[in-house]
Structure 1
Amino acid sequence: MSVLKTVVAGIIVVAGLSSQAVMAKEWKEIRIATEGTYKPFSYIADGKLTGFDVDIANALCEKMQAKCTIVSQEWDGMIPGLMSGKYDATVASMSITPERQKKIDFTDKYYATPARFIAVKESEIKETTPESLKGITVGVQGSTSQASYLEDNFKGTEVKMYKTVDDANMDLANGRIDLVFSDAAILADWMKSADGACCKFVGGDVRDEKYFGVGKGIGVRKSDPDLRDRFNAAIKAIIADGTYDRINKKYFDFSIQ
């Protein structure tokens, strides 16, 4: 009789786990994190989160028929917050890199843009090689792929870390640093503003898969491959039906896909 009870109990446990697995794969409600200080990808306007990443997240959720809550999260805590279960995914312009893939999983890329340097228009800096930038001060957002790239490859350059790209840009505009290094789309958008009219691109596109990966992906926990797969299917769907292109054109005058 005790053996029978043990078998029955085992069946109940297995059934319970199977039921939980099925429920987990439904993903009717998803909590998504973005940064909120990374215009035009994510920023606050009229008290609400908006931007390319936010619109993409909402479009993906609509395709998945999921109720999504989008929250702002400071960049330094983005991956730790995901891993601890604070939210289920990040749609935050995060580069898919080997280092990050050790901790979390990623969807296919949903956009890819190069990194670039900017300087004030009066600057005589033209080349942006490690040799040419010795003794130069470059601003960059901390804990980013761009920051890692500079620290590893520009040993003779003074790399100054900032909490946000906007903070670095303002120091550049005010003559406190010589260059800013960030995502080209972010910098291009800022240079359209009154504050950014001071500045120009210098050097060329910077692409290095070791640091910048193959593009930007949606981050999920390694324990949630089903959620990753649902996002991948939704990414393909919004590209196929033209939704992605409409969102792209809302923020950029060039394709970032």
Structure 2
Amino acid sequence: MSRRTWVVALSLLGLVCGGPQAQAGAAPETRVLRIGTYFVNPPFEYIADGATVGFEVDLMNEIAARLGRRPEFVDTRWETMLREMRDGRYDCIVGGITITPAREKILAWSTPYMTTTLSLVADAERSPAIRGIADLKGASVGVQAATTDYDVAVRMRAEGEIGSVKVYPFDRIEDAMSDLAAGRITAVMKVYPVAAWLARKTPGLRIVAQVPGEPQPLGIGFSKANPGLLAAVDRALAAVKRDGAYARLARKWGVP
């Protein structure tokens, strides 16, 4: 069989088997943006009535749409998520994650979409005298494990600003709020939007102070091997802020 005959035969086989020629008129499948997160972090991302909702869910949906991608959220755990991202399990990760020098060593990060603070929540009825950080000497403060809240609380304990630190698994922050309402701890430290959300759920709890000098820039994490996606997300994020979509989502979820 001649070379020309072979080429014709292979082309016909491609048509019969649904090869590229047969697919020419079909719409291309939308690429997926695989996003690692954890749905225990309101108002950023959580589950309500069986649906995954939250500010960052909406934000990543908006960004994915501008990239022409279909978002796919993968539920994981805070304790493993950064390592899983480094190992390439996701396209990116999100979850109210503070950009820190240590985290910049292992992952690349977007431009911060929000810079917020760490808040201290106390029970106004049980501890009416607590009105600021100066009133927390000797207090027990609840924090989540392996977070900037934990790092700051340990520093404050060493400097005598608080008395002790009680550590909770990341997905058990509501246990900390329950212990606070029951008087088993004096305060809970958490990044502001989450602290405000959780305080609103329990009568009597209120934010009594913001920790000074500890800004919390929140970002989207990427593998350092994928600078192109990082640049594309940064462009989309800038557009979301520029055209008012970010402000609309911030109002909807009550975040800065």
TM-score by length of 1: 0.80
Give the Å deviation of 1:165.
2.4
CA distance in structure 2 between the aligned counterparts of 1:191 and 1:151, rounded to whole angstroms: 22
Residue identity matched to 2:180:
L
For 1:6, the equivalent position in structure 2 comes to none
Q: Over residues 26-61 of structure 1, what are the superposed CA-to-partner deviations in whole Å (9 max), with x where a residue is unaligned?
A: x93221012210111110112221100111010000
Give the Å deviation of 1:170.
1.4
Give the Å deviation of 1:167.
2.0
Is 1:197 equivalent to 2:200 in the alignment? no
- Over the aligned positions, Cα root-mean-square deviation in angstroms equals 1.7
Give the Å deviation of 1:205.
4.4
Residue identity matched to 1:40:
P
Q: Is the 8 A contact 1:151 1:159 kept in 2?
A: yes
Give the Å deviation of 1:125.
2.1
Give the Å deviation of 1:128.
1.4
Q: Is the 8 A contact 2:199 2:207 kept in 1?
A: no
CA distance in structure 2 between the aligned counterparts of 1:71 and 1:46, rounded to whole angstroms: 18
Give the Å deviation of 1:140.
0.7
Residue identity matched to 1:166:
E
For 2:249, the equivalent position in structure 1 comes to 247
Partner of residue 48 from structure 2, selected from 24, 45, 53: 45
For 2:64, the equivalent position in structure 1 comes to 61
Q: Is the 8 A contact 2:124 2:205 kept in 1?
A: yes
CA distance in structure 2 between the aligned counterparts of 1:79 and 1:46, rounded to whole angstroms: 28
Q: Is the 8 A contact 1:34 1:54 kept in 2?
A: no
Is 1:221 equivalent to 2:223 in the alignment? yes
For 1:13, the equivalent position in structure 2 comes to none
Is 1:230 equivalent to 2:235 in the alignment? no
For 1:183, the equivalent position in structure 2 comes to 191
CA distance in structure 2 between the aligned counterparts of 1:154 and 1:220, rounded to whole angstroms: 33
CA distance in structure 2 between the aligned counterparts of 1:105 and 1:250, rounded to whole angstroms: 29
Other structure's SS at 1:44 match:
strand
For 1:101, the equivalent position in structure 2 comes to 104
CA distance in structure 2 between the aligned counterparts of 1:70 and 1:204, rounded to whole angstroms: 31
TM-score by length of 2: 0.81
Query: Which structure 2 residue ranges, 5 or more long, are not aligned?
Result: 1-29
Residue identity matched to 2:96:
S
Residue identity matched to 1:229:
A
For 1:161, the equivalent position in structure 2 comes to 167
For 2:132, the equivalent position in structure 1 comes to 127
Q: How is 1:7-18 mapped onto 2 (pairs within 5 angstroms)?
A: none
Is 1:28 equivalent to 2:31 in the alignment? yes
Residue identity matched to 1:204:
Q
CA distance in structure 1 between the aligned counterparts of 2:66 and 2:109, rounded to whole angstroms: 19
Other structure's SS at 1:125 match:
coil
Paired residue total: 220
For 1:140, the equivalent position in structure 2 comes to 143
For 1:208, the equivalent position in structure 2 comes to 214
For 2:84, the equivalent position in structure 1 comes to 81
Larger Rg: 2
Return closer, same or farther for 1:60/1:118 CA change in 2, 3 Å cut-off.
same
Identity %: 31
Residue identity matched to 2:251:
K
Other structure's SS at 1:191 match:
helix
Q: Is the 8 A contact 1:114 1:184 kept in 2?
A: yes
Query: Which structure 1 residue ranges, 5 or more long, are not aligned?
Result: 1-26
Return closer, same or farther for 1:118/1:28 CA change in 2, 3 Å cut-off.
same
CA distance in structure 2 between the aligned counterparts of 1:170 and 1:113, rounded to whole angstroms: 24
Other structure's SS at 1:238 match:
helix
